[in-house]
């Protein structure tokens, strides 16, 4: 007898998720955006500063800040940035003065405005570096986490800004423009997808990197050669990014391309002094752990990558 065919399984529309601006990156962040919340979202790998439900600042230990990007190629002297930060903090007064303490994001933004007002930095250069650093840090802050995020409403010291506090015009030179959460999540998803297409294993993003010496190395562009020159078996991707004064995500792209080309490989921490257990019942260690052949490691990574496709 003819039977009714079973219904087709639902397929997630990835393009539609991108258009909606939310693909499960952070449900808490999406809720805070809907609430138009103001405060600091603290996650395992970074923090996001929100104002009226939009992101105005992001920080992560894995990503260089705007000051590093500005000072890396001679746009701004590092000493001038430190001086502007100190003046921004001092201008708010000390404890007991009745002046609200600035958040870290506000201190950075005021320092940038001081440099713009003094003619030491153009508004365009400041905003470009600020947005680059924001998206860069947010990529790491929004990474999958093993611990739940925490949100502190108001300022970092738990106090709300005074309702009658003067507000500067949105288009004042040097005033940071907020980033909608949907745009930030959409860009985070795009970056994840890009890295996955280059090399699906995320291990090179976290651990020290080493060179793979090949008989005939492929020709590499100058940008990638600069990254390769700093691969020494000790530095990580984040450390290389800071030394070069480049965004950490852009450095990850170069590193994954180098890994895919077979000229760089990750070096997970391995203990060479911890004894390996002997045969059952022996109770006598057989000596230090031998490092694995890097060629075997590469073949296993290639196998895992092919199986993941």
pLDDT tens for 42-53 read 999 999 999 999
Widest Cα–Cα separation across the chain: 87
Long-range contacts of the stretch 258-263 (C-beta < 8 A, 24+): 258/220, 258/224, 258/227, 258/228, 258/231, 259/199, 259/201, 259/204, 260/198, 260/199, 261/218, 261/220, 262/212, 262/214, 262/298, 263/211, 263/212, 263/214, 263/217, 263/218, 263/220, 263/228
Query: Does any domain span residue 71?
Result: yes
Query: Mean pLDDT over all residues of the chain?
Result: 78
Domain boundary among 151, 184, 217: 184
Tell me, what CATH number does 257's domain have? 1.10.10
Say whether both 137 and 216 belong to one domain.
Answer: no
Say whether both 132 and 217 belong to one domain.
Answer: no
Three-state DSSP state, 144: coil
Query: Does any domain span residue 36?
Result: yes
Q: Which residue has the higher pLDDT, 101 or 64?
A: 64
Say whether both 274 and 127 belong to one domain.
Answer: no
What is the per-residue pLDDT for 80?
Answer: 86
What is the per-residue pLDDT for 85?
Answer: 83
Query: What value does the mean pLDDT take over residues 12-37?
Result: 70
What is the per-residue pLDDT for 285?
Answer: 46
Say whether both 54 and 146 belong to one domain.
Answer: yes
- The two structure tokens encoding residue 185: 């999540």
- The two structure tokens encoding residue 160: 């709300």
Whole-Å CA distances, 198 to 55, 64, 142, 211: 29, 23, 20, 18
- The two structure tokens encoding residue 38: 């103001």
pLDDT of 28 higher than 90: yes
Whole-Å CA distances, 147 to 153, 193, 224: 19, 23, 34
Say whether both 154 and 219 belong to one domain.
Answer: no
Query: Does any domain span residue 222?
Result: yes
Which span out of 22-36, 153-167, 265-279 was modeled with the highest average pLDDT? 22-36
Say whether both 82 and 211 belong to one domain.
Answer: no
pLDDT band at 296 (very low <50, low <70, confident <90, very high): low
Q: Which residue has the higher pLDDT, 41 or 4?
A: 41
pLDDT-wise least confident of 40-54, 146-160, 208-222:
146-160
What is the per-residue pLDDT for 288?
Answer: 45
Closest CA to 48 of 154, 134, 111, 177: 134
Query: Does any domain span residue 137?
Result: yes
What is the pTM assigned to this prediction?
Answer: 0.73
Say whether both 138 and 284 belong to one domain.
Answer: no
Query: Does any domain span residue 193?
Result: no
Query: Does any domain span residue 142?
Result: yes
Say whether both 173 and 216 belong to one domain.
Answer: no
Say whether both 145 and 92 belong to one domain.
Answer: yes
Number of H helices and E strands in the chain, helices first, is: 11, 7
pLDDT of 271 higher than 60: no
Say whether both 259 and 295 belong to one domain.
Answer: yes
What is the per-residue pLDDT for 1?
Answer: 53
Closest CA to 70 of 113, 111, 128: 128
List the domain range (segments joined by +) for residue 76: 15-160+167-184
Query: Does any domain span residue 246?
Result: yes
> 24 Cβ partners below 8 Å, 6+ apart?
17
pLDDT band at 210 (very low <50, low <70, confident <90, very high): very high
Bridge partners (DSSP) of residue 179 are 55
Query: Does any domain span residue 92?
Result: yes
H/E segment holding residue 264: strand 264-266
Whole-Å CA distances, 63 to 8, 211, 263: 44, 23, 24
What is the per-residue pLDDT for 298?
Answer: 61
Give yes or no for a contact between 198 and 256, defined as CB atoms under 8 angstroms apart: yes
- Give per-residue pLDDT as tens, 154-175: 854 334 444 444 344 444 444 5
Say whether both 27 and 175 belong to one domain.
Answer: yes
Domain boundary among 184, 218, 239: 184
DSSP track, 172-220: STTPPPPEEHHHHHHHHHHHHHHHHHH-S--GGGTS-EEE---SSPPP-
Say whether both 44 and 177 belong to one domain.
Answer: yes
Structural domain count, the chain: 2
């Amino acid at each position: 007898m003819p039977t009714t065919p079973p219904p087709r399984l639902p397929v997630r529309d990835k393009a539609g998720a991108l258009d909606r601006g939310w693909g499960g990156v952070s449900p808490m962040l999406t809720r805070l955006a809907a609430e138009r919340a103001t405060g600091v979202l603290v996650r395992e790998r970074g923090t996001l500063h929100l104002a009226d439900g939009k992101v105005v600042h992001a920080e992560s230990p894995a990503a260089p800040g705007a000051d590093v990007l500005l000072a890396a190629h001679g746009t701004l002297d590092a000493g001038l940035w430190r001086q502007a930060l100190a003046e921004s903090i001092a201008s708010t007064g000390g404890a007991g003065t009745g002046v609200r303490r600035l958040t870290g994001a506000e201190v950075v933004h005021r320092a940038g405005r001081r440099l713009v007002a003094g003619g030491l930095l153009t508004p365009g250069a400041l905003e470009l570096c600020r947005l680059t650093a924001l998206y860069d840090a947010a990529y790491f802050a929004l990474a999958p986490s093993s611990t739940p995020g925490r949100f502190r409403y108001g300022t970092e010291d738990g106090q709300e800004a005074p309702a009658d506090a003067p507000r500067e015009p949105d288009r004042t030179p040097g005033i940071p423009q907020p980033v909608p959460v949907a745009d930030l999540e959409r860009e985070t998803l795009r970056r994840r997808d890009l890295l996955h297409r280059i090399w699906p294993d995320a291990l090179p993003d976290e651990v020290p990197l080493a060179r793979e010496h090949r008989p005939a190395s492929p020709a590499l562009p100058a940008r990638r050669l600069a990254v390769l020159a700093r691969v020494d078996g000790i530095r990580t991707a984040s450390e290389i990014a800071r030394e070069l004064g480049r965004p950490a995500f852009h450095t990850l792209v170069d590193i994954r391309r180098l890994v895919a080309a077979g000229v760089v490989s990750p070096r997970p921490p391995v203990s060479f002094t911890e004894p390996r257990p002997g045969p059952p019942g022996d109770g006598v260690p057989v000596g230090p752990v031998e490092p694995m052949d890097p060629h075997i490691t590469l073949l296993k990574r290639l196998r895992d990558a092919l199986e993941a496709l």
